[in-house]
Amino acid sequence: MQILNSYATPYHPVAERYDAMEYRSLGRSGLKMPALSLGFWHNFGDDKPLQVQRDIMRTAFDHGITHWDLANNYGPPAGSAESNVGLIFAQDFKHLRDELLITSKAGFALRPGPYGAWGSKKYLVHSLDQTLLKLGIDYVDIYYHHLDDPDTPIEETAEALALAVTSGKALYVGVSNYPAERLREMAAALAQWRIPLRAYQGPYSMFDREIEESVLPTAADLGVGTIAYSPLQQGLLTDRYLDGTVPADSRAARGKFLHEKALSSAYYERATALQGIAERRGQTLAQLALTWVLRDPAVSSAIIGASSVEQLRSNLAALAADLSDDEVAAIEPYAVHGTGARTW
């Protein structure tokens, strides 16, 4: 476990932190989401210095990113992201709790045994208690079921989410990685408890457009806000691989969430064309990818990760640009679903 330097300069956020950020309604709720949210999946585990994590979090908040997206299994190792964020929160952000949206999820495997994954009431209730303990807070703003569970009755999972709200441990509830038909079933199951389903979180990028077909329309019909994750397609929608090499410290080199086989000739052709469009617009490929995801008003927010303050600042620049109809049409031949998809 890392130790945070308690003698660091006290954090005082800048007064103009809300001036440049766009805030969007989360579906048919009164909750406003920043157009870009800070995700803690890869870069806030024990393998990253706490001071780097702290600098990223401070910079994000100074630019109006009020939403922290966590899950009980984020790390590495699993669970360490919540512990590390809790340390930084206690020193820097505790007095700013009312200005933050802190969300977490449970569903993927966290521990061995029959109670360490999926969607049972036992697992979800216990996991939320552990999340609150690690973060050092009384409630999360949104609590998600992280993935659809084919074995647990959806009514039981809904009961656990409803209990999170009625117990005061969550203000809103949502689901992640659900297909459209199960999204509708969860909304109906929660309605039995008079608890609305408020948020859906799923992958969405120029190379992963599956949710456009059914999830986005279903969410809109239900009044559920959509939050996009992996808008840069695990780094494929950046300039990281465009020179034809695979950096040793890249995700493709590690081969866990992205494999070198994703770097096909079709990928290079499409990504290079998109890079050209971005350059003509005065953007990086990553900035163009974020601007594209946010073009749809049905998307309440896009979650970005950051390994450095510089990367975060670069991604924030995407908010300063819009896409015309002609530009969207020019992008369309290269924004092909399935590019870089895992097929091995």
pLDDT band per the 50, 70, 90 thresholds, residue 342: low
| Average pLDDT of span 133-162 | 98
Identity of the amino acid at 109: A
Say yes or no: domain 23-233+293-323 is CATH 3.20.20.100: yes
Q: Is the pLDDT of residue 258 over 80?
A: no
Total Cβ atoms within 10 A of residue 185:
16
Among 69-73, 183-187, 336-340, where is mean pLDDT lowest?
A: 336-340
C-alpha atoms less than 13 angstroms from C-alpha of 319 in its C-beta half-sphere? 22
Q: Where are the domains of the chain?
A: 23-233+293-323
Q: What is the 3-state secondary structure (H, E, C) of 62-92?
A: HCCCCEEECCCCCCCCCCHHHHHHHHHHHHH
Q: Is the pLDDT of residue 62 over 80?
A: yes
Question: pLDDT exceeding 90 applies to what percent of the chain?
Answer: 85
| Residue 253, pLDDT score | 45
DSSP secondary structure of 115-152:
TSSTT-HHHHHHHHHHHHHHHT-S-EEEEEE-S--SSS
pLDDT digits (tens, 9 = 90+) for 203-229: 999 999 999 999 999 999 999 999 999
Q: Is the pLDDT of residue 263 over 90?
A: no
Q: Is the pLDDT of residue 344 over 80?
A: no
Both tokens of 98, joined, read 């009312």
